[in-house]
Amino acid sequence: MDAVEILFTASLWAAAIRIASPLIFATLGELICERAGVLNLGIEGIMTVGAFSGWLTVYMGGSLWLGILAAAVAGSAFGLLHALLVVPLGLSQHVTGIGITLLASSLSYYVYRLVFPEVTSPPKIEPFQPWNVPVLSDIPVIGEALFRQTPLTYLAFAAVLLVSWFLYRTPMGLAVRTVGENPSAVEAQGIDVTWVRIAAVMAGSALMGIGGSFLTLSAFNSFFFDMVNGRGWICIALVVFGSWRPGKALLGALLFGLFDAYQLRLQQLAGGYVPYQVFLMLPFVLSIIALIVMSRRAAYPRALMVPYRKGER
């Protein structure tokens, strides 16, 4: 099989969607935070905490869906902490975010070691199994790629629609968007900027937690150290790439997934000629290139990273 033929295999496209799924959740999460004017660099740690708490819940006997819920709750708890520090207190969003990432991931590792002091191979759970959509999954290639995924992947696509509808079709979505663009206008309408921002960061962080839990509950079946491995930072790049719009962010995540799935297959093809590290580097290089290309057109939410103090202009 050569490099072009790979492009027409269903397994490539199925893998692309699988790789994109956690990124879709977390990118939507970051997008909501940033639309409300808050940069959330806690994303990497919040994904770790989601991966861990979701997995631990299932390991302790909870159902897989309870695991998802645990990941969302744990994620939004750290989101609340981030929001409290940067919204009412107005602390640096960069520094606080890095602090949240360090705290959330180290807490996950600490509790992991507390529960499993002496395990050499990570304990396993029974993860989500692919669920074939009746009829649709029988379509050649497309059906195999799109409709034989795990329920969490379908949920990721549903989340895109839900977040779009929320942001553009509901009064609360309008409040979130305006809070990130022109907070004093929202305040004039009698809506409290602080509470809208806190709620947005909590909701976004819940999505990041779910994105993390995809790794332990759907992609793999155990929790291990450094498993998020930069995915959070890539999601931040994807938000910029998607110009802060859910649909474009989905497209970005899918492109990224496709590229990642493709490089994995090329790696097997070109094994021996090109060092495997080059392929592993490509997703990160690609993210930077995407940032450079998009930055010319980037329409940042105007109040992104600007703390709001009532009565100040």
Partner 1 sequence: MVGNPMRLEPREQRSLAVILGYPLVALAVAAAFCAILVMFSGANPLSVFGLMVKGALGTQFAFLETLTRATPLIFTGLAAAVAFRAKLWNIGGEAQLYAGAVMTVVFGTGLLPLPWPVLIPVLMVAAMLGGAIMLSIPTFLKTRFGVDEVVTTLLINFIAILFVSMLLEGVLKDPMGLGWPQSKKVIADAQLGKLVQGKRLHFGFVIALLAALAIWVIDRRSALGYEMRAVGHNPKAAAFAGIPVNRVLAKTALLSGGLAGLAGYSEVAGLKGNLTLDLSPGFGYTGIVVAMLAMLHPLGVVAAAIFVAAVFVGADAMSRTAGVPSYIAHVMVAASLLCMVTAVMLTRYRLRWR
Q: State the residues that interact with partner 1 by CB under 8 A.
A: 41, 81, 85, 88-92, 94-96, 98-100, 102-103, 105-107, 109-110, 113-114, 117, 190-195, 229-230, 233-234, 236-237, 240, 275, 277-278, 280-281, 284-285, 287-288, 291-292, 295-296, 298, 309-310
How would DSSP label each residue in 14-55?
HHHHHHHHHHHHHHHHHHHHHHTT---TTHHHHHHHHHHHHH
- 212-to-32, 38, 286 alpha-carbon distances in Å: 17, 20, 22
CA angle 268, 23, 81 (to 5 degrees): 140
> What is the closest distance, in whole angstroms, from the C-beta atom of residue 244 to partner 1 in the complex?
13
- In this complex, which beta carbon is closest to partner 1, that of residue 68 or of residue 74? 74
CB of 209 to partner 1, least distance (A): 18
Q: Judge residue 48's burial from the number of C-beta atoms within 10 Å of its C-beta, 0-12 exposed, 13-18 middle, 19 or more buried.
A: buried
The secondary element (H helix, E strand) that includes residue 284 is helix 276-295
Q: How far is the CB of 154 from partner 1 (least distance, A)?
A: 29
CB of 114 to partner 1, least distance (A): 6
The residue count for the chain: 313
Residue type, 265: R
Residue closer to partner 1, measured from CB, 302 or 310: 310
What single-letter amino acid sits at 233? W
- The single-letter DSSP state of residue 125 is -
Whole-angstrom CA distances from 143 to 14, 135, 188, 284 are: 9, 9, 50, 30
Tokens at residue 176, please? Answer: 């979130």
Structure tokens at 194: 């602080």
Handedness of CA 194, 49, 251, 277 (dihedral sign): positive
Nearest CB to partner 1, comparing residues 129 and 295: 295
**Side-chain half-sphere of 134: how many Cα atoms within 13 Å?**
0
- Nearer residue to partner 1 within complex by CB, 11 or 309: 309
CB closer to partner 1, 17 vs 26: 26
Tokens of 41: 């660099």
- Which CB atom, from 296 or from 313, has the smaller least distance to partner 1? 296
Buried (b) or exposed (e) across 81-110, using 16+ Cβ within 10 A? bbbebbbeeebebeebbebbbebbbebbee
Q: Which is nearer to partner 1, 52 or 147 (CB)?
A: 52
Q: Closer CB to partner 1, residue 29 or residue 127?
A: 29
